[in-house]
Structure 1
């Protein structure tokens, strides 16, 4: 029964012929709308529960009696479901997975339904947080959410109350057996033109409005991809107007699904490269010190979690001298859901992952940029051209310093030797926000040529600690 239940859960998000419900004469095709709905043996709402169906499971409506609907699904499934949990169309993932949206859309937020539509570790944690906020008694929830200070006098944190939730156990079981993270949760790679058009719609089309340095616009369709952070970059540097990306033609990269930035997170790798991810619970929730306040960490009864991919990926490292190395690595992370944030590493944040150098590739110690692919590319060398641009001086008031970007070093990388740039990297030097007057490499922006069009590919910024 357990194996059959998992097959039906799997069918909720894998559309295959073997999973499609069997039609009855005059039966109407519908979809389950609840997140984990009891299926009963008869129309009596107190009848024995024989199974559960999750969001967007396709079924056939055979008959309706009062508030109970007789349905069939899968190969031989048959039972009764409350009619209120059926609809004649599927739920859209972004509609139920987006928490911070307009008030009208926010009412549709349902992390449990989002998980069943598109299972993932992120979805599992969000569902755990939902159970935490909705299953505890109000007094216990208030107790756990109360302030527990470390200073001036430490207080004893209250006991965390957790218990087994069948739906959450089924979610954890599905993740343990393995899923491919949902590609619908992660944004595609937008082009410079798409970014500029999004900015033009949001801040205006006049030259002064468009070229000014502004953070009050967002990437196109950002609300459709709730698990993505999309850096809005219009491929311009206001401090250096003459800086622009070179004109290009189609070169090596032709498919946005074949290449990912060097610091792509594990679930996006799973989604974009189609690699199965598997997760397991490794610890229970705990109280942790976050700055000067204790708070609980975890997602319901998950305190720590390990996620791994079934297949390795390949990190391609391009050195400043033009050497290209390929390192094989198997993505895996240990996560503490909603854990403490009291940590800081100063400097540029992006880190390489690969350790196992493939045979026949040169060692690269002076890495310029790196990217991921599902298979190793054959290049051992690349052609690199570099040049620098200085920000023009401007009139300053007495005592005022010229802030912002002061210099940009441009690297053009021709990976396949056809004379057309495949990557451009902008290393931007300027004043840090807190420390310094010494100029630092404060921002690094990488662009990729896909099908003859520039796309913002990756960003790395200088972080400061106080």
Structure 2
């Protein structure tokens, strides 16, 4: 008997264990499986998170495009989600917030800048930048009383224009005041490779029909031999002549901020008035500064090959919206030459105010202070200047030239930057005024990198 008891005890234990396991398995099988939370991305520019699945339910949070939410469930077009905060809006939440959102406002992948398209609000939140902040502010719908046709009839010159406060706009301004890092590939677009000589076009004739045409070039310009050299990618350089602060900060890898300094005001263009024709700034930002952290370093290369350097920590941002009136200017994007806002960098050439600077540029790293190699080729041309007493008693020929500047940054015999200066007769004086065009050698191909157009003024 004793032996039987000892023999059957393990069998009882095994049976109990099997029964317990079976019961446990049965209990588990009866509990519905809960799917793990899935990351989803907000697609709207400024979206309400609600307390319940009702269109009029209390709003518990508002979030911008590409905010990451953890989706818990989906039912009748509503998604239950967890929101842990968004670094673009401030510190993350101490505990995730459970809320509800229309499922059609979520996607499995974040929005790209291309997908945002012409929607200025979504484009800003996808890739915040000063330029996209400006576009965002300009796209905000204005009440009828604050639209330009109404203001032109009722608003006094230089008086502030008051726009209503909008939560999403306040969040955008707060983000840009703190500063953002930009992606070079989103800010620099040079298009396709080009032959720089295709852009070289002399004026066929001056402004007035009784003046002979511009003489052809004495010799056909030749381009320097090209091969991969100093700049291997589009993100390795930005010229001040081709981009503005956004592109420069992106290539330099530094934070850029927008600091509002004043309210918008109504103005008229030069020689116009008294009715206002435009409003300064964008939405409620009438004037602003841009700040760089760390400071933006701008290099300058002279026609003698000297390298100078200045740093810019903060600069006035021209958002006056005034139309260009007269004089030289960048027809496209461009960053005005640093002035009093810039500080010289020790160890680089001290350039005088009269120094002929061929190009200014920004790099991800440092440009060595050693002189670069510059070669300038001259291709003669000319035109007749009409009689204009007492300046000119009789017509005379004005001799000038197309100048091709080859800038070899690393002195390896391959030009890295090209500037072509093309003259044309001024419409009043018939003295030469110039169009400057820049090209960059990126990986052994030429790409357009900005243009400056001169213009005679009365």
Per-residue CA deviation, residues 147-181 of structure 1 (Å, 9 max, x unaligned), is: 579xxxxx779984422111111111111122123
Determine if the alignment matches structure 1 residue 289 to structure 2 residue 290: no
Contact 1:111 1:130 in 2 (8 A): yes
| Aligned-partner Cα distance in 1 for 2:98–2:224 | 62
| Aligned-partner Cα distance in 1 for 2:418–2:158 | 51
| Aligned-partner Cα distance in 1 for 2:40–2:335 | 46
Contact 2:347 2:369 in 1 (8 A): no
Of 420, 425, 437 in structure 1, the residue corresponding to residue 430 of structure 2 is 437
Contact 1:41 1:47 in 2 (8 A): yes
TM-fit CA distance, 1:190 = 4.2
TM-fit CA distance, 1:39 = 0.7
Per-residue CA deviation, residues 186-235 of structure 1 (Å, 9 max, x unaligned), is: 23334534999xxxxxxxxxxxxx89969xxxxxxxxxxxxxxxxxxxxx
Counterpart of 2:375 in structure 1 is 385
| Aligned-partner Cα distance in 2 for 1:454–1:351 | 24
Structure 2 SS opposite 1:463: coil
Structure 2 SS opposite 1:248: coil
Structure 2 SS opposite 1:412: strand
* Compared CA separation, residues 89 and 183, structure 1 to 2 (3 A): same
Determine if the alignment matches structure 1 residue 141 to structure 2 residue 135: no
Counterpart of 2:441 in structure 1 is 449
| Aligned-partner Cα distance in 1 for 2:200–2:327 | 30
| Aligned-partner Cα distance in 2 for 1:250–1:184 | 20
Determine if the alignment matches structure 1 residue 172 to structure 2 residue 146: no
Determine if the alignment matches structure 1 residue 119 to structure 2 residue 128: yes
Aligned residues: 379
Greater C-alpha radius of gyration: 2
Determine if the alignment matches structure 1 residue 315 to structure 2 residue 298: yes
TM-fit CA distance, 1:183 = 3.8
Per-residue CA deviation, residues 6-54 of structure 1 (Å, 9 max, x unaligned), is: xxxxxxxxxxxxxxxxxx7255543212111111222233333221221
| Aligned-partner Cα distance in 2 for 1:280–1:423 | 34
Counterpart of 1:410 in structure 2 is 404
The two structures, once aligned, show a CA RMSD in angstroms of 3.8
Counterpart of 2:257 in structure 1 is 278
Per-residue CA deviation, residues 86-133 of structure 1 (Å, 9 max, x unaligned), is: 234443323434xxxxxxxxxxx32111111111222222222222xx
Equivalent runs, 1:314-353 vs 2, <5 Å: 314-325=297-308, 327-335=309-317, 337=319, 339-341=321-323, 343-346=325-328, 352-353=337-338
Counterpart of 1:421 in structure 2 is 415
Contact 1:302 1:337 in 2 (8 A): no
TM-fit CA distance, 1:57 = 2.2
Structure 2 SS opposite 1:364: coil
Per-residue CA deviation, residues 350-401 of structure 1 (Å, 9 max, x unaligned), is: 85327533333332332332322243322421233222113599xxxxxxx9
* Compared CA separation, residues 392 and 321, structure 1 to 2 (3 A): closer
* Compared CA separation, residues 43 and 311, structure 1 to 2 (3 A): same
Per-residue CA deviation, residues 42-82 of structure 1 (Å, 9 max, x unaligned), is: 22333332212211223343323334221234483431012
Structure 1 SS opposite 2:190: coil
| Aligned-partner Cα distance in 2 for 1:359–1:420 | 28
Counterpart of 2:387 in structure 1 is none
TM-fit CA distance, 1:428 = 1.6
Q: Which moved more, 1:71-80 or 1:268-277?
A: 71-80
Counterpart of 1:265 in structure 2 is 244
* Compared CA separation, residues 195 and 323, structure 1 to 2 (3 A): closer
Counterpart of 2:454 in structure 1 is 462
* Compared CA separation, residues 29 and 92, structure 1 to 2 (3 A): same
Runs (5+) with no aligned partner, structure 1:
1-23, 98-108, 150-154, 197-209, 215-237, 394-400
Equivalent runs, 1:208-247 vs 2, <5 Å: 242-247=220-225
| Aligned-partner Cα distance in 2 for 1:157–1:388 | 49
* Compared CA separation, residues 347 and 298, structure 1 to 2 (3 A): closer
Contact 1:303 1:336 in 2 (8 A): no
Counterpart of 1:250 in structure 2 is 228
Counterpart of 1:84 in structure 2 is 104
| Aligned-partner Cα distance in 2 for 1:374–1:187 | 14
Structure 1 SS opposite 2:168: helix
Runs (5+) with no aligned partner, structure 2:
1-33, 86-95, 203-215, 384-394
